[in-house]
Structure 1
Amino acid sequence: MSSIMKPSPGAVILAAAGALAVPLAATPASAAAHGPESIVVRRGGPARGLPFVASRSGEAVATFTVAAPGVSWARRGAEAAVVAVAVDGRHVTDLVVPSAEPTARSVALGSVRRGEHRLTFAFASAGSAAAARRVTVRRPRAGTPRADQVALRHAPIVVGRTLPQLGDAYQNARTDTPLLAWHEELPATKPGHRVLEYSVVWSNEDGGTDTPALMARWGRTTDIEWVYRVEVDADGRRVPGTGVYQAPNHQTLAFAGRYEGDHPLLQTCTVNNNMCDTVTPDAKLRFFLDSTPTRPADRAREVVMDRSPWTYPVMAQEMVRENKIENPADPATPQVGDQRTYLFLEFKKKTGAPTGIGSIPGVSIGVRLKRDPGTLYRSDHSTPSWSIERDLPAATTVELPAGAKVADIASVEAVRQPMGAGDNGAPATVTSINRGFFLDAGYLPQASGIAWKGSVTLTPASPSAVLWKP
């Protein structure tokens, strides 16, 4: 069941793993599945299912808590279990389960008619790690939510990567697995129309931005990319010819591939998780992420991870398993150390007009500790190209000595840093720190202990300033 299956005529195939949606049991549009509160699927065992009733025709979503005993994304040979999900006998998604800890997940089920249906789960042995023997699914709920039908209707299907240099066609069950998706609404030129943009969070990227730069410039080692945009009219219908996707080398190309209903079929086809609009015949996994979540316009994209904290352990464990972590960790080196030693920050700034010729300034964040106020630990490790030049809410991290906590911090500072040769003189004004937290022993985000709002302008003459003190 884990191989890609052609849909029956008129059917819509959707797939895999989102986690930001409100549980459908809490929404009036949902219809609870009428079955056991817990089901277990086993390697070599039969599929297990339960009925559900759709209160209206439309795009369906399922929510549940899932765990795979014996599985750990940190261990080779134990990375994950794969579960194939079907509706009325039609395979709709593969779900990668990378943890033995119960984790709230949600998946899209595709288009269903009003009435009774059957949701089934099957252990997909071919894609599962050797250590995975069973998966427990608790409190499954399914239905057609009243809200977000247009967003669900146009969400892309993401087919698993099949690059030979990275393994077999099940490689996304072991590396760079899709974790979350969300959508945003952008303005369109024509009144009454809007543009839907869909983005995906992967557990890492096996190529592209190197790991230390990811931590400095993006505040995580997951990969986050927009994958598909499309214009819809006032009735939510796709405007022909408006679909585009993020292609290799981060190009924006017109989508010329196949649609299943209104869902474009895309495949992850590069080491840094860009898309192709043709699918290789050997593809085995498909992920149609629940794209109903959105993000606040004034927050960095990483907020979607903050709202699904289970993504942080997956991120960190992939770094450990792939030997990308410096041991012992040393904040004096640019190599990525234990991610539990980093302060995860999000800040907002704006760059002013240049006054001369030279490189644009970025901003890095520095931290001083009470026990050693003379040392400034910088997010960019004093590498100019690792400072942040984009004028959007931005996430970054600062590596600190092991054991440091928010209570040990004397100050958080902003540092103006030209990105390359010369300095164009533009000021940079920092206006907020939106959150600051460490990861706990299990790599889960602790509560944010740092927040600040104000206005501090950095210039060539005054390139640094304190933003926050306890």
Structure 2
Amino acid sequence: MRSRARHAVLAVTGAALAGAPLVLTVSPADAAGTRGTISVHRGGPARSLPFTAHRDGEAVISFAASAPGVSWAREGAESAVVSIAVDGRHVTDLVVPSSDPIPRGLGLGHVGKGRHKVTLRFAKGSAPAARRVTLRHPEVRMPVAEALALRHAPVVVGRTGWPLGDPYQNATTDAPLIAWHETRPADTPGHKIIEYSVVWSNEDGGTDTPALMARWGRTTDIEWIYRVEVDASGRRVDGTGVYQAPMHLTLKFTGRYEGDHPVLQTCTDNNNMCDVVSPDAPLRFLLDASRTRPDGRAREVVMDREPWTYRIAAQEMVREGKIESPSDPATPGVGDQRTYLFAEFAKTTGGATGTGSVPGVALGVRLKSDPSALYRSDHDEPTWSIDRDGAVATTVELPAGTAVSDIASIEAVRRPTGAGDNGAPATVTSINRGFFLDDSYLPQPSSVTWQGSVTLTQAEPSAVLWRP
């Protein structure tokens, strides 16, 4: 019994062997803490988590991570970093930006059948205020249905600002938070294209913050980073791997692989990739990319199912001094994010009837207290209206304290994005969600939805979509 207590137990049932994920629960003897908890301390020993894989495959680890004394909103207290190894090989790092537990998932890479050990250490790059990291309910899984996506997921080496920058800068800015994948059929029958995307806490370069809120509905940075074709057996088709390079170029991946995992490095201030990796870069991230985006929805909804990402994004804006104080919806500067309506709507653009710029669409909000005032997502800035089609996200800044119950109407406004107007109609067919952040910067339940069809033209450039 004593020997068995020293190891975590992997229960393999008939259902698991038939295709359900294999699940590992941590043994308290190795947890160095309360039951179901692992704690790693600054200057303390590493902690281990043994597990047994009953087949070859990709493993992932999940837990609720917290670091007492840490806050992404405070300089000098931004995060704690945990280094994670499997069988002595450094696989991934974890940036813990909160003293409150946050659910996290990380890839552990390919493991062979048999016994293995995950090792967790308190790592360099942690903020001075960070003293301990607590990982509650750690669990190692070997998903079956998502195994293909996990197999080809990219390793993202941290941004170092070479040659003079901070090699640990992702522990204080532009931290990679979550990842996901999408698939589509390839031209070759039976083949698939898999594309991987990452959400960062912000971008230090590229689109400025007010434009991010207007055109994308968030201050995080969301980028696709790697795309590859696989054959019917899941093998990578040679020469098909591409990545999003600086200047948003799509380049052929010519770097190294760890098994089927391409190794990329964040090498620009707006989180584009390079396939030549700094050999001494200390941080690396293998995020759990097993989930995908719901069909027909904007990329931003991947944040909705991880509500803590909104808090981290808002806290980075506060710490970096990017928030207007006091907030004023009459100015284009970004105010307190709790004053914004976060909305997602769907639109299509028809054919042009003349020359000039393409029309975009902005959302406008009128309040019961003053229906004559229209608060616009684009702040009446032409380039901030949204010209891309499909499901798109935006935000509308409103007076502090506004709630959904204060809204009289939400309308769509057609606005050319530049000189002239090419005459194309824009049709809005839905508002998929609309919510405010609560006092803790977490999304409140969506209470704004609408479906229909409203076409905006030069003659009739605006229309009401929703009333309470």
TM-score range, shorter chain: over 0.9
Distance 1:165 1:175, change over 3 A: farther
Counterpart in the other structure of 2:6:
none
1:137 aligns with 2:135: yes
Counterpart in the other structure of 2:99:
100
Measured in 1, the distance between the counterparts of 2:173 and 2:410 equals 34
Counterpart in the other structure of 2:443:
445
Measured in 1, the distance between the counterparts of 2:383 and 2:295 equals 26
Shift of 1:113: 1.4
Once the two structures are superposed, what CA deviation does each residue of 1:33-89 show, in whole Å capped at 9, x if it has no partner?
341211110000001112222232100011111100000000000000000111222
1:295–1:301: 8 Å Cα contact kept in structure 2? Answer: yes
> Which amino acid is the alignment partner of residue 172 of structure 2?
R
1:391 aligns with 2:383: no
Counterpart in the other structure of 2:32:
none
Distance 1:204 1:34, change over 3 A: closer
Q: Higher relative contact order by CA 8 Å / sep ≥ 6: 1 or 2?
A: 1
1:39 aligns with 2:38: yes
SS in 1 for 2:25: coil
- The one of 362, 365, 368 equivalent to 1:367 is 365
1:110-259 correspondence to structure 2 within 5 Å: 110-124=109-123, 126-164=124-162, 167-259=165-257
Measured in 2, the distance between the counterparts of 1:288 and 1:166 equals 25
Comparing 298-307 with 106-115, greater Cα deviation is found at 106-115
TM-score by length of 1: 0.93
SS in 1 for 2:137: strand
Measured in 1, the distance between the counterparts of 2:120 and 2:232 equals 37
Shift of 1:282: 3.1
Shift of 1:401: 0.2
Measured in 1, the distance between the counterparts of 2:122 and 2:267 equals 26
Measured in 2, the distance between the counterparts of 1:33 and 1:120 equals 15
Measured in 2, the distance between the counterparts of 1:338 and 1:181 equals 26
1:273-422 correspondence to structure 2 within 5 Å: 273-422=271-420
1:52–1:143: 8 Å Cα contact kept in structure 2? Answer: no
1:429-468 correspondence to structure 2 within 5 Å: 429-468=427-466
> Which amino acid is the alignment partner of residue 27 of structure 2?
G
Measured in 2, the distance between the counterparts of 1:450 and 1:435 equals 5
Shift of 1:291: 0.7
Once the two structures are superposed, what CA deviation does each residue of 1:70-111 show, in whole Å capped at 9, x if it has no partner?
000000000000001112222211000000001111110011
Measured in 2, the distance between the counterparts of 1:411 and 1:52 equals 55
1:30 aligns with 2:22: yes
Counterpart in the other structure of 1:15:
none
Measured in 2, the distance between the counterparts of 1:143 and 1:403 equals 43
Measured in 2, the distance between the counterparts of 1:437 and 1:38 equals 34
Please give the root-mean-square deviation of Cα atoms over the aligned residues, in Å.
1.2
1:64 aligns with 2:63: yes
SS in 1 for 2:91: strand
Once the two structures are superposed, what CA deviation does each residue of 1:406-462 show, in whole Å capped at 9, x if it has no partner?
000000000000010000111000000000000001100000010000000000000
Counterpart in the other structure of 1:11:
none
1:31–1:54: 8 Å Cα contact kept in structure 2? Answer: no
1:33–1:51: 8 Å Cα contact kept in structure 2? Answer: no
Shift of 1:162: 0.9
Shift of 1:165: 8.7
Counterpart in the other structure of 2:33:
none
Counterpart in the other structure of 1:13:
none
TM-score by length of 2: 0.93
Measured in 2, the distance between the counterparts of 1:257 and 1:67 equals 34
- Aligned positions, number: 444
1:306–1:445: 8 Å Cα contact kept in structure 2? Answer: yes
2:26–2:138: 8 Å Cα contact kept in structure 1? Answer: no
Measured in 2, the distance between the counterparts of 1:282 and 1:333 equals 44
Once the two structures are superposed, what CA deviation does each residue of 1:131-154 show, in whole Å capped at 9, x if it has no partner?
000001111110211111111111
> Which amino acid is the alignment partner of residue 77 of structure 2?
A
SS in 2 for 1:320: helix
Comparing 276-285 with 309-318, greater Cα deviation is found at 276-285
Once the two structures are superposed, what CA deviation does each residue of 1:381-413 show, in whole Å capped at 9, x if it has no partner?
000000000012000000000000000000000
Comparing 115-124 with 430-439, greater Cα deviation is found at 115-124
> Which amino acid is the alignment partner of residue 194 of structure 2?
L
Measured in 2, the distance between the counterparts of 1:387 and 1:458 equals 14
1:440–1:446: 8 Å Cα contact kept in structure 2? Answer: yes
Shift of 1:128: 0.1
Shift of 1:29: 1.9
Distance 1:165 1:327, change over 3 A: farther
Once the two structures are superposed, what CA deviation does each residue of 1:3-24 show, in whole Å capped at 9, x if it has no partner?
xxxxxxxxxxxxxxxxxxxxx9
Shift of 1:164: 4.8
1:55–1:143: 8 Å Cα contact kept in structure 2? Answer: no
> Which amino acid is the alignment partner of residue 61 of structure 2?
A
> Which amino acid is the alignment partner of residue 111 of structure 1?
H
